[in-house]
Chain A
Amino acid sequence: AQTVTQSQPEMSVQEAETVTLSCTYDTSESDYYLFWYKQPPSRQMILVIRQEAYKQQNATENRFSVNFQKAAKSFSLKISDSQLGDAAMYFCAYKDRGGSEKLVFGKGTKLTVNP
C-alpha cells in the first residue's frame, strides 16, 4: 500500500521569506500523481499544486513550486515571498495513475507565517 510521510509537524516563516515543506512517499508504481493541498482554519481543502510522475519538469504555480525527486521518492513544496494568507495546514497527497482514484494523504504540516 502507498504511504505518504510529512516529517515536519510544524514550520514557521517570516513574511516575504521562503519556506520549504518536505514530503516523502512510498509506492511500487511507476506512474502516479502527487499533490499539495492547503487547509486554512476554515478547513476548506484547496489544491495548491500537482505533479505528474512521468513529467521530469517540476510544477510551478505562481509563488508555489515543487522539487520532485522520483528516485528518492521525495516531493517538497517551496513557498516564495510568504504571505500571511499562506498560514494553514499543508497536506501532501498521492494518487495512482490508471488505478484507484483515491488520494492518500500525509499527516500534514502546520505553517505559521510571522509578520
Chain B
Amino acid sequence: DAGVIQSPRHEVTEMGQEVTLRCKPISGHNSLFWYRQTMMRGLELLIYFNNNVPIDDSGMPEDRFSAKMPNASFSTLKIQPSEPRDSAVYFCASSLSGDSYEQYFGPGTRLTVT
C-alpha cells in the first residue's frame, strides 16, 4: 500500500516566485493535514480538510498561503509570492476521520526560498 505521497521532495526557488506543493493522501482516508516544520517554531498545523472541506485554517500564516483539495485524492498548498521566511519542511498527513485514527505523514517537501 502506498503511503502519503508528496511532490516535489525538494524545491529551491527565488523570492517572489509562486510555489505549489502537492499531496496525494492514502486511498480511503478522508482527513488531510498540512504541517510546517521550522527550527524556530517546530511542527505546526497550517490547515486541515475533512471530506475535501477546509475545517481549520487558523494556522495559515497569511494571504500568501492558500490550500485546496479539489477531490479526495489530491491537495495543493500554494505560496504566492514566496519569501525567504517560508523556507521550511512542509508535511502532508492523512487519516480516517475520527478521534482514534492515526495520522500518516508523507516524506515532506523541503522548501528553500532564496
Could you tell me which A residues sit within 8 Å of B by CB distance? 33, 42-45, 47, 50, 52, 91, 95-98, 100-108
Contact A106 B42 (CB under 8 A): yes
Tell which of A42, A101, A102, A104 touches B97, judged by Cβ atoms closer than 8 Å: A101
The 3 A-B pairs with the shortest beta carbon distances in the complex, nearest first, are A45-B105, A105-B43, A102-B45
Give the dominant DSSP class at A's interface.
Answer: loop
Contact A102 B107 (CB under 8 A): no
Q: 15 interchain pairs (CB within 8 A)?
A: A33-B99, A33-B100, A44-B107, A47-B102, A52-B100, A91-B42, A101-B50, A101-B95, A102-B33, A102-B45, A102-B56, A103-B33, A103-B43, A105-B42, A108-B42
Nearest B residue to A44, CB-CB: B107
Closest Cβ of chain A to B50, distance in Å, is 7
What 1/0 mask marks residues of chain B from 22 to 48 whose CB sits below 8 Å from any chain A CB? 000000000101010000001111001
User: Which residue among A44, A101, A106 has the maximum number of chain B CB atoms within 10 Å of its CB?
Assistant: A101
CA distance A104 to B107 in the complex (A): 19
CA distance A102 to B50 in the complex (A): 11
Contact A107 B103 (CB under 8 A): no
CA distance A47 to B56 in the complex (A): 23
CA distance A16 to B56 in the complex (A): 43
Contact B107 A43 (CB under 8 A): yes
Tell which of A98, A105, A107 touches B99, judged by Cβ atoms closer than 8 Å: A98
Contacts A43-B89, A43-B107, A105-B44 given; does A100 touch B56 at CB 8 Å: yes
Contact B91 A45 (CB under 8 A): yes
User: Which residue among A43, A52, A96 has the maximum number of chain B CB atoms within 10 Å of its CB?
Assistant: A43
Closest Cβ of chain B to A61, distance in Å, is 13
CB-CB under 8 A from B110, the residues of chain A are 43
User: Which of B70-106 touch A at CB < 8 Å?
Assistant: 89, 91, 93, 95, 97, 99-100, 102-103, 105
User: Which residue among B42, B56, B89, B100 has the maximum number of chain A CB atoms within 10 Å of its CB?
Assistant: B42
Contact A107 B42 (CB under 8 A): yes
